[in-house]
Amino acid sequence: MNDKIVIVTGANSGIGRAAAIRFAEKGYKVIIACRNLEKSKKVQKEIIQLTKNNSIDLLKLDVSCFKSIEDFCSEFKKSYKKLDILIHNAGYFNHGERNYQLSPNNIELSFATNAFGPFLMTQLLTDMLKKSEDARVLNSCTTNIRHFLNQNGKLTLIICRGNL
Residue 161 domain-assigned?
no
Per-block mean pLDDT, blocks of 10 residues, the chain (164 long): 92 92 97 96 98 98 97 98 96 72 91 92 98 92 50 48 40
* pLDDT for the residue numbered 95: 61
CATH number assigned to the domain comprising residue 56: 3.40.50.720
Report whether 25 contacts 153 (CB < 8 A). Answer: no
Write out pLDDT tens, residues 31-59. 999 999 999 999 999 999 999 999 999 99
Is residue 160 in some structural domain? no
- The number of folded domains in the chain is 1
94 in any annotated domain: yes
Tell me if 109 is assigned to some domain. yes
Give the tens place of pLDDT for each residue, 130-141. 999 999 999 885
Task: Residue 36: give the domain boundaries.
Answer: 5-148
Task: State the DSSP code for 157.
Answer: P
pLDDT of residue 158: 43
Please check whether residue 98 lies inside any domain of the structure.
yes
pLDDT of 163: 39
Give the model's pLDDT for residue 65.
97
Instruction: Note the pTM of the prediction, 2 decimals.
Output: 0.84
Residue 29 near residue 109 (C-beta atoms within 8 A): no
Phi, psi of 33 (to 5 degrees): -110, 105
Q: Answer yes or no: is 157 within a domain.
A: no
88, containing H or E segment: strand 85-88
Residue 162 maps to a domain = no
| Domain membership flag for residue 72 | yes
